[in-house]
Amino acid sequence: MASIYDSIDLAHFLVVTYEDHGDGQRLRAECSCGWSGDWRDDGALAEADGEDHREVAVGPGDGLDRLMGELLDLQDDLARSVIWLAEHWSADLPAPNARGVGHDTPRVDLTAHCATAELLDRAAGVLGVPLVDDPAPDPQGSRCRRATRPFGRVRLTVYSALAAACDECGAEVTGDVCPECGQRSDAGPVTLGAA
């Protein structure tokens, strides 16, 4: 089975921004290949130098490269926050609350839309989890088939839309009228009574 690391040039995998603890606060990006950027007064400029170096050395990334970079940046920011809190925050100060996706426990949700049923089956197989259909339509009337794998506080979900189903007989409806029973998709319930 191929790994995402098969396509990464490991010589340029780690580009980190370092601080110069000399007279002024200066920063520069450094790569595991030995490359170093210019000293900058702005951290965003130093990070941009590192991104430029990686793109020139390895070439432009695809969507997965972008996601991996964002997750690694998030990991770096979380680690930096944890270390700073451990070194500077004290128990007599109010405890910060973590927020994100979720109500009780923050988490990160990653989603990927699969354009075909075959692609969804393949993605669910890679995740190693079963496909599950939404039990009911959402407020817009859509239903999806999805597979979700949790990684602690990170969830990866792959999904694809399900075809609409007739309220009367359950058959798949692609237009305004059910091909099986003739029920119109916009028809409301009918009550018959004696006159």
pLDDT at residue number 170? 66
Per residue in 52-92, pLDDT tens?
A: 887 777 776 678 877 887 888 888 878 887 887 888 877 87
pLDDT at residue number 144? 93
Strands (E), 106-169: 108-113, 132-133, 144-151, 154-161, 164-165
Hey, is 36 helix, strand or coil?
Answer: strand
**Is the whole model's pTM more than 0.85, yes or no?**
no
pLDDT at residue number 6? 46
Q: What is the mean pLDDT of residues 178-188?
A: 68
Supply the Cα-derived Rg of the chain in whole angstroms.
Answer: 26
How much is the mean pLDDT over the chain? 76
Q: What are phi and psi of 193, to 5 degrees?
A: -140, 160
Amino acid at 124: A
pLDDT-derived band at 102 (thresholds 50, 70, 90) equals low
Q: Is residue 118 within 8 Å of 107, Cβ to Cβ?
A: no
